[in-house]
Amino acid sequence: MTGVTTISVVNQKGGVGKTTTVASLGAALAEKGQRVLLVDLDPQGGLTFSLGIDPEDVDVTVGDVLLGTHRADDAIVVTEDGLHLLPSNITVTQAEEGLVSRTGREQRLRVALDKVSDQYDWILIDCPPTLGVLTIGALSASDEVLIPLQAETLAHRGVGQLLETIEDVKAYINSGLTIRGVLPTMYDGRTRHAQAVVEAIGSTYGLPILEPAIPKSIKFAEAPAIGSSILRTSRTHKGAEAYRQVAASLLAD
């Protein structure tokens, strides 16, 4: 593989495992010797916190980069896991509001990342749980979209709206954008219900289903409290292994 691949991890529904997926996939790719940059676009700073950095202690955020007051290089920090992170905190909310009236708002993340992209093999973007200007900017900057989806009945409400947004971005801003697939999360393979939901999503929307599904586990909730990914806190856990297999499939393509 040559060049950098940028993937937005998107779902406007909260609590589906976006942040866990970005942190865990990033760690799995780094384990395989890949150079990885993670981008926290959520003003809540969940990814920043999950990787052991207090969002309140961050001086320069992705918001400053989007507003043009700092370069991405000024903001990137290295986590204890050795991952590079473009961090976020609540000030990104003001940045988002400020972007609405700015020229080129939807291209600003792409332009900023272009300046550091030669340093990385992968850029993974953790998008906020909305389809606003920050998420549109992420889709504009990306080669691919990965959609984490909780394997339960109501989880796929809103997928149609997300797909419409992706199609709009493809039509007007980023014609090369593709959907890598849906990643089932919080999956309980013992139930037929979970299996049926995943199959229904694939057939209803014609989307690839990424494998393996990510199992439901308390270990995923414990890892951020330690400030690391599950690949470091529970190395041999089936959840860590599942993300390693998803990372391997990304590398194989």
Per-domain boundaries in the chain:
5-252
Q: So what's the pLDDT on residue 194? A: 81
Place of tokens 């400030």: 227
What is the per-residue pLDDT for 49?
Answer: 94
Q: What is the CATH number of domain 5-252?
A: 3.40.50.300
Q: What is the pLDDT of residues 70-116, one digit of tens each?
A: 999 999 999 987 899 999 999 999 999 999 999 999 999 999 999 99
Which segments of the chain have a pLDDT < 50? 1
Return the amino acid letter for 148.
P
| CB-based contact 34:121 (threshold 8 Å) | yes
C-alpha 79/C-alpha 108 separation (Å) is 24
What is the CB-side half-sphere exposure of residue 148 using CA atoms within 13 A?
30
pLDDT value at position 141?
A: 98
The model's pTM is 0.94
Alpha helix (H) residue ranges in the chain: 18-31, 46-50, 62-67, 72-75, 91-99, 108-114, 133-141, 159-172, 192-205, 219-226, 230-233, 238-252
pLDDT of residue 1: 43
